[in-house]
Structure formats: structure tokens, C-alpha cells
């Protein structure tokens, strides 16, 4: 779903130079190395990660992330990790990647991994980049850059996998908080976060769905819940679908309330 959504952007933006920069927020799906610079159990700076690059880069993949591919199609370089010492000066004018493996919408998601940068903190980091860009090119040019730039938001899985669905540890929470209430909390928090991102100048915002998390091998191994015809765990996929349905409604709501969203 995420890949299909992102590929649709290639047609929307027409491979043109209309997108001057790419700012990326998310989790391990799009992290390009921020977790290399923090104390965390969620790291991809070792083999077998990065075999297509010939070395680990901090990406939780063999090679390029989906956003890397999109950047290339838009004529942009890979958005560098925010925490890399070299991500400063004119480099940030082409975009920055704030994503962090184990990061989530809620600040307590991913705690089992120790260090991680959740969405609130990622937006804080973008606010710092925003000030740096303003200092480089001035307010009018900076606001114009943000208006045309692509902002990708790809997170939410860890709020389920590393929060609501943690084996054993999450049982008390699930007894007290219904799936509907938990998803409502996620959507409420995400509404505030996306609104803040908009207030900082973001306009072309792509928000990715949560994928079929019940099909992840780890989830299939640790769950005794019923399986569907695809041999995926039913309950996690139901949670993802519930979230995705409300996410669509949220995006439609923000389009109505925020001019230019």
C-alpha cells in the first residue's frame, strides 16, 4: 500500500523540478541512519543490512528505501539523516530525513528499544531545520520552499507492534483500553502533529497507511491468535485496518479545515 501510494506521486508531480526538497518523517521503513547516532537497540548499522550498498548505512533494508527511490525519480539526492554531523548548511535546502527506527505517533511507543525519535521529537527537529533554512535564504524563500517540498509521514506500526501488541507486557493495557479507544488516541495525537507540521509550512504532505502487520514473521511467531486464509494473524491486521479507515477520515478532515493541505 505504501509503495503504491508513493509511486502514485511520481505521476502527480510528473518527475519535474517542482519539488525542490524532500522532508521525511517515520520509523524503520524510511530511517536512513538517525538511529546510528543514538543509544538504541533498534539499529541497522550492521550486517546483513545494506548489502546492496556494500555496507550498512543505517537503513533497515538491503538497499534503498521507498523514499530514496522517490527522491531519485524527482531528481533529488537522498535526504540525509538529521543527526548526521554533515546535515547542515546548504545541504538541508534539498531536504532532511528525521525518521527513526522504533519511532511512533505516541511518545511511549518503542520504549522497549531504548532510544528512538518519536513523531513529536521529529517535528521538533524539523522546526530546528526550518530556522536554519530561514537563516540561509530568508523567510519568503523558505516559506516558498516548504510550500513546494514533499513531506512524507510513514509511521504508526510501532504504536501497535511495540506498544499495544507487545507480548505479555501489553496484556494489562489491552484489558483496560479497547482497540477502538487506542486507535482513537492515535488519531487524536496524529491530528495535532499533522496540524503542527502544517503550521510550520508543510503543504504537500503524504501520509502512509499502516501495513498488514499481522503478516510480519515475528508477529506470526509470537501470537496464538486466529490466522486468516493468508496465514496472517487476524487481530493485528484488524487493528491496522481500523487505524487506516480513521486515518483516511482524518486526512479528509484536515483537507477541509486547513487550506492548502
Specify the DSSP class assigned to residue 164: I
As a whole number of angstroms, the distance between CA 13 and CA 184 comes to 32
The per-residue pLDDT for 189 is 99
pLDDT at residue 79, rounded to an integer: 98
CA proximity to 150, closest of 25, 249, 31: 25
pTM of the model: 0.93
User: According to the model, what pLDDT value does residue 15 have?
Assistant: 46
Burial of 151 (0-12, 13-18, 19+ CB in 10 A): buried
Choose among 206, 27, 223, 190: nearest CA to 117. Answer: 27
SS3 208: coil
Residue 160 C-alpha cell reads as 501497535
Count of residues in the chain: 261
Positive or negative, the CA dihedral 164, 169, 174, 177 is negative
Give dist(CA 178, CA 92) in Å, integer: 42
Residues of the chain with pLDDT under 70: 1-17, 168-171
> β-strands 204-207, 150-154: how paired?
parallel
Give strand pairing partners of 81.
Answer: 97
Distance CA 134, CA 246 (A): 35
Full set of structural domains in the chain with CATH: 2-257 (3.40.50)
- The residue assigned the cell 511512533 is 104
Give the CA angle between residues 243, 36, 150 to the nearest 5°: 50
Amino acid at each position: 500500500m505504501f509503495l503504491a501510494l508513493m509511486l502514485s506521486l511520481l505521476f502527480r508531480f510528473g518527475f519535474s523540478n517542482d519539488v525542490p526538497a524532500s522532508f521525511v518523517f517515520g520509523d524503520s521503513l524510511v530511517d536512513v541512519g538517525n538511529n546510528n547516532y543514538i543509544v538504541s537497540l533498534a539499529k541497522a548499522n550492521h550486517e546483513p543490512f545494506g548489502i546492496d550498498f556494500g555496507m550498512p548505512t543505517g537503513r533497515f533494508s538491503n538497499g534503498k528505501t521507498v523514499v530514496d527511490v522517490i527522491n531519485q525519480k524527482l531528481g533529488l539526492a537522498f535526504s540525509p539523516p538529521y543527526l548526521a554531523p554533515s546535515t547542515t548548511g546548504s545541504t538541508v535546502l534539498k531536504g532532511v530525513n528525521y525518521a527513526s527506527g522504533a519511532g511512533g505517533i505516541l511518545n511511549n511507543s518503542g520504549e522497549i528499544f531504548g532510544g528512538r525519535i518519536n513523531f513529536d521529537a521529529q517535528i521538533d527537529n524539523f522546526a530546528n531545520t526550518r530556522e536554519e533554512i530561514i537563516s540561509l535564504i530568508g523567510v519568503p524563500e523558505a516559506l516558498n520552499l516548504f510550500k513546494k517540498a514533499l513531506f512524507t509521514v510513514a509511521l504508526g506500526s510501532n504504536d501497535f507492534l511495540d506498544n499495544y501488541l507487545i507480548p505479555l507486557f501489553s496484556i494489562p493495557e489491552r484489558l483496560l483500553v479497547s482497540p477502538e479507544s487506542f486507535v482513537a488516541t492515535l488519531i487524536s495525537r496524529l491530528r495535532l502533529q499533522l496540524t503542527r507540521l502544517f503550521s510550520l509550512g508543510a503543504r504537500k504532505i503524504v501520509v502512509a497507511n499502516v501495513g498488514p502487520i499481522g503478516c510480519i514473521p515475528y508477529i506470526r511467531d509470537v501470537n496464538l491468535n486466529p490466522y486468516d486464509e493468508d496465514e496472517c494473524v487476524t487481530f493485528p491486521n484488524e487493528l491496522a485496518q481500523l487505524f487506516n479507515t480513521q486515518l483516511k477520515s482524518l486526512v479528509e478532515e484536515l483537507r477541509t479545515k486547513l487550506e492548502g493541505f
